[in-house]
Structure 1
């Protein structure tokens, strides 16, 4: 075996991590020159800028009238936890756990909220739980796209048009890159640092009229810290009033106005490239390039075996080369890290290792801020690194 020739062309932007994700093409610090700094976020202009993020996000996503959308603390994690702690309890709940974050929501529902009739529908990385087994008369908690598994729901029909429970959807790596069926969802969450390449620490929480009715109809059957409270106390035991200010730029805690300006920059860029359809098309083109490469490459394949469930954002791949399969599990993990480390050392692709809880392999962010040309430039480096890794791990088979 001889060393493989090293590629010449490198991606112009080698940032392929799944969060924080690549900034929009052409981004620079000049985009933040007009940030509302050193002033109160509760001033008229501060509230106006926060509300602009909400209004622009609603419009870009095509969110229906009657939905509330607010900026909340703690990124997508904070938004999901607010929904779980504030809404769950009146009905039994099903939770779909098919990657690390949905497994965390399942743990919190079972161990922390201790809901007695909770069911966890679990699946290994690369596949969805059996959707036919979901009981939609219950509340159902799920991710639209598994950020750490590269598996997404196959489409609108995954959720019945009529369902008695609430459909609570973690959409952090799907929003702005995949079509969300708003008429079939009740709670949707995401964060700024994914498809539009914003900065971290801020989450978005969207509530349907049905979700608002749940909140106002009965108080949560548990104490809530201030950061989770979405209603103010009512005059009776029947619940409370929704804190409408949260959904008009009056945030629960102090937000970063620098991050807010960056979020507005990303939303303006999205509008300029064709809105939601333009964003979806860019992400789909990135997946298509990787799919064509996988088709002609014998050492790697998609972690998601079913094409209809393959993510166009968090594109997860597993190594299937015979030399890799012959390694002990511990050596497979080392070999995968070695491969991604070689690419990073050459400044050809950063943060492409699979998530720490996922099977050893690669994860390439294909969201809308990533240029397809950069993914095309990355792929020869992956082939080169795979050949180099095979040489480095020669002879370390299970039998050896």
Structure 2
């Protein structure tokens, strides 16, 4: 099935309204509404990030992060290299090994942290709690005498933890939370989290390559009282002489940041304030996800990958095709069907990059975060019906 064939040979009329912004990728995500290159005109280009102007911008990025995310005053916020991956790896390699660890995984990124802990760090006294795509592990069985590693929102499955109630208030271990597609869209239970990481290119639509590392006082205490048995590369080192390098959390980054990306992050944070801060951002994402949920409820050929409504993401919305003619196909044929839908939408210029993640079950993944306009979500949904009908017609002709 070629792009040109889809819809044309089926004789289907395309919807009348198109999304103004077809960017529904789950990362990097859509820029904020009305964004333009002009917002970067004040970037400190050609200047040292250690100069007064660079330090001021980095410190403002940290301060605005605290304000918008409502991070407790006694938590530290640092800008670190290599996006969310770098931030979370830094936390794992610096903090784990002091006690046992429970590793939770229900999608590809959580599974990646399990691989690092088991095969790279080779931690003793570790156990893995897993679930298939669409579900959560048994949260009630987590042992909080151990450190606990988990993602808050499974970006590739569309499954999130419902809240922080399952995390023990009197936990002995640390909680390490990858919150990269949850931060700025969902309520993070700060009193239950000791390490939180995320990247700029998700909910705020910032530029990639920089990560955020947020540490509770308990995490700082671990860093200053425990030295891992393995060597740490310079880019991971958070302590010197047994003491936290606090300059990192005042804007003195470990390596050279892009001041262009910093300027873009500042713009995104200021936009976040303009739409009502965290509550405004959550409201925008909830409204987008709600529109998709209403459409799913009325549409027989599709359903959420997340089985429990309480665990459905309001950012990375993952959908599966439930039509019997499609589910009767082989796995590879189902993947080809979903890919044909995605290709047809891209060919029409109405939706880019909405295929399921490569390790996930075949289907669609639509970013519904705060930078996506509600009107664009509403305009997209009839196009999904069009692409399904066109692809199914092609399937019938090929049978």
**Normalised by the size of structure 1, how large is the TM-score?**
0.96
Question: How many residue pairs align between the two structures?
Answer: 391
- 2-side partners of 1:253 and 1:377: how far apart? 42
Quote the residue 2:252 is aligned against. Answer: 250
1:177 aligns to 2:185 (yes or no): yes
Aligned partners of 1:216, 1:178: CA distance in 2, in Å?
Answer: 31
Counterpart of 2:60 in structure 1 is: 52
Cα deviation, 1:27-59, whole Å, max 9, x if unaligned, reads 000100111100000111101101111110011
The separation in 2 between residues aligned to 1:218 and 1:308, in whole angstroms, is 38
Return the alpha-carbon distance in structure 2 between the equivalents of residues 36 and 2 of structure 1.
54
Query: Is the 8 Å Cα contact of residues 3 and 387 (structure 1) preserved in structure 2?
Result: no
In structure 1, the residue corresponding to 2:291 is in which secondary structure?
Answer: helix
Say which SS state the counterpart of residue 148 (structure 1) adopts.
coil
Aligned residue number for residue 335 of structure 2: 333
1:85-134 C-alpha deviation (Å, 9 max, x unpaired): 00000110011111111000000000000002111111111101111111
What corresponds to 2:95 in structure 1? 87
In structure 1, the partner of 2:275 is 273
Cα shift at 1:208: 0.2
Counterpart-to-counterpart distance in 1, 2:58 and 2:375: 34
Structure 1, unpaired ranges of 5+: 234-239
**Partner residue of 1:6?**
14
Corresponding residue number in structure 2 for 1:119: 127
1:237 matched residue in structure 2: none
Does the alignment pair 1:200 with 2:202? no
Q: Give the secondary structure class of the aligned counterpart of 1:157.
A: coil
Report the secondary structure of 2:205's partner residue: coil
After superposition, the C-alpha distances for 1:342-395 in whole angstroms (9 at most, x for unaligned) are 011100101100000000000000110000100100011100000011012227
CA distance in 2, matches of 1:37, 1:158: 45
Segments of 5+ residues of structure 2 without an aligned counterpart are: 1-8
Secondary structure in 1 aligned to 2:78?
A: strand
Q: In the alignment, does 2:164 pair up with 1:162?
A: no
Deviations 1:303-334 (A, max 9, x none): 00100000000000000011111111111010
The answer to whether the 8 Å contact 2:10/2:394 transfers is no
Shift of residue 4, structure 1, vs aligned partner: 2.6
8 Å CA contact 1:339–1:385 kept in 2: the answer is: yes
SS in structure 1 at match of 2:213:
strand
C-alpha change, 1:396 and 1:100, in structure 2 (3 Å) is farther
**Correspondence 1:1-400 to 2 at 5 A:** 3-233=11-241, 240-394=242-396
Moved more, 288-297 or 62-71: 62-71
Q: By how many angstroms is 1:248 displaced?
A: 0.4
* Contact persistence 2:134–2:157 (CA under 8 A): yes
Q: By how many angstroms is 1:156 displaced?
A: 2.1
Q: How far apart, in 1, do the equivalents of 2:155 and 2:295 lie?
A: 21
The Cα of 1:3 is off from its aligned counterpart by: 3.2
SS of 1:279 mapped into structure 2: helix
Give the drift of 1:167.
0.6
Distance (Å, rounded) in 1 between the aligned partners of 2:229 and 2:56: 34
| Contact persistence 1:176–1:276 (CA under 8 A) | yes
RMSD: 1.1
SS in 1 for 2:248: helix
SS in 2 for 1:85: helix
TM-score normalised to the size of structure 2?
A: 0.97
Report the alpha carbon displacement of residue 187 of structure 1 after superposing the two structures with TM. 0.2
The superposition leaves residues 142-191 of structure 1 with CA deviations (integer Å, 9 ceiling, x where unpaired) of: 00000000000011212122211101000000000000010111000000
Distance 1:2 1:66 in 2: 61
* Equivalent-residue separation in structure 2 for 1:322 and 1:395 (angstroms): 16
Indicate conservation of the 8 Å contact 1:162/1:184, yes or no. Answer: no
